[in-house]
Chains A and B, each alone.
Chain A
Amino acid sequence: MGGMPNVQVLRDVSRRHAFASTELLRRSYLFVARNTTLPANVRLQAQLQLTNMPGNTRPSVVKNRCTLTGKGRGVLSKWGLCRYQFKQRAMAGQLPGVQKASW
Chain B
Amino acid sequence: MASAITNATKVALTRPSNERLMALRQLQCSIFSTTFNPTSARTGAKYLKGRMRGPSMVDYYPKTMSFRDINRLYPGLDLVDEDEEQRVLDLMARKARGKGPPPKAKKAGEGRRAAKKKR
Contact = CB atoms under 8 A, between A and B. Distances in A.
A32 B47 CA distance: 9
Given A23-B52, A23-B54, A59-B53, A31 B60 contact: no
A20 interface: yes
Interface string B28-56: 00000000000001111101100011110
Interface in A15-30: 16-17, 19-21, 23-24, 27, 30
Interface residues of A, number: 29
User: Does more than half of chain B's interface fall in helix, strand or loop, or is it mixed?
Assistant: loop
Interface stretch (A34-42, A82-90, A95-103): A34-42
A67 B60 contact: yes
Contacts of A9: 61
A7 interface: no
A37 B41 contact: yes
A67 B43 contact: no
A64 B53 CA distance: 14
Interface string A68-93: 00000000000010000000000000
